[in-house]
Amino acid sequence: MATATRGQDLLSSEFLTQLDRLALVSRRAFRGRARGERKSQRKGMSVEFSDYRQYGVGDDLRYVDWNIYGRLDRLYLKLFVDEEDLCLHLLLDGSNSMSFGEPSKLRYAARLAAALGFVGLVNLERVGVAVVRDRMAEGWSPTRGRGQFLSLLDFAGKLRAGGPTGLSEGLVAYALRSRDAGVAVLISDLLDPAGYERGLKALLERRFDVHVIHVLAPEEVFPILAGDLRLTDAETGEVRDLTMDGEAMGDYRQRLGEFLARAESFCRANEIAYHRVTTDTPVEEMVLRQLKGLLLA
């Protein structure tokens, strides 16, 4: 169907109406490249009055408040709030492990990215998408304006998982080549034997406001397995035979708990916002409840 090809089945019209009332929240102030709808920390010359300061040599006389000059015989400039845009960087793990589940973790990630991207675009922020595999294989360059949303849906709707994971390498490369910092949202299952920490730290070093949305399939959290099994690694192709009994299940749950705790602890220690979700959680609930007040307002 054409709608599926263009990704228009990712988000319902009712959900978009709810998203239209939201805006992005950043824990850091960034200098934007174009006028937007976000109040800046800087003082500029837009329409909303902010403050006064004394006139200095070379200042524009058009902004002198002549009423104050008439009363005080001193020159003061009117200052206004400058409005600027923010850049939202949506970083999606596109490795083969993200194909697991129904819906797949990548499909869920694409829906989350489309929802967050819509909020950014309707608020005149710049929004870009990058797909991280063992390298930066695909990307949707940062752009702005509500009119770009169909293009974003088209890109997100065509995403397919494949290849090994290289989170740190991909994130380091992205951090180094990005012209502007901003809010970076990594949507990933974090299943990379080489780790993800170095990549996240590279984003922090470039002054990104980093969020991690840790996506897992419910079958990964509560596996229903029993008996003699042959498991194949989705990315390396490694085959392992095992017997899933009570002891093995207990060991799996312990390792999973340690993995989740380590990810959350690392993020908290480095002031990275950590959000965990399973793909049986409606995307609408994740965005409107779990992310509201943290990434959205």
Residue pLDDT, tens place only, 70-129: 888 888 776 654 445 689 999 999 999 999 999 999 999 999 999 999 999 999 899 999
Question: DSSP states of 176-201 as a string?
Answer: HH-SS--EEEEEE----TT-SHHHHH
* Alpha carbon distance 178, 141 (integer Å): 10
Which segment of 57-61, 151-155, 270-274 scores lowest on mean pLDDT?
57-61
The reported pLDDT for the residue numbered 41 is 43
**Amino acid 188: pLDDT:** 98
Average pLDDT across the chain, whole number? 85
Overall pTM surpassing 0.85 (yes/no): no
Name which residue leads in pLDDT, 276 or 124: 276
First to last CA, the chain: 34
Predicted local confidence at residue 121, as pLDDT: 95
Pairing of strands 273-278, 183-188: unpaired
pLDDT band at 43 (very low <50, low <70, confident <90, very high): very low
Give the pLDDT mean for 127-134: 91
Give pLDDT, residue 77: 72
Within the chain, which residue ranges are assigned CATH 3.40.50.410? Answer: 2-29+85-290
**Upper half-sphere CA count for residue 253 (Cβ side, 13 Å):** 11
pLDDT given for residue 50 in this prediction: 54
pLDDT for residue 277: 98
CA atoms within 13 A on the CB side of 90: 31
Residue 258 has a CB neighbour count (10 Å cut-off) of: 10
Q: What is the mean pLDDT of residues 167-192?
A: 93
The topology (CATH level 3) of 2-29+85-290 is Rossmann fold (3.40.50)
What is the distance between the alpha carbons of residues 296 and 120, in angstroms, rounded to a whole number? 10
Lowest-pLDDT choice from 48-62, 181-195, 221-235, 240-254:
48-62
DSSP string, 29-58: ----SS--SEEEEEEEEEEEEEEEEE--TT
The model's confidence at residue 26, banded by pLDDT at 50, 70 and 90, is confident
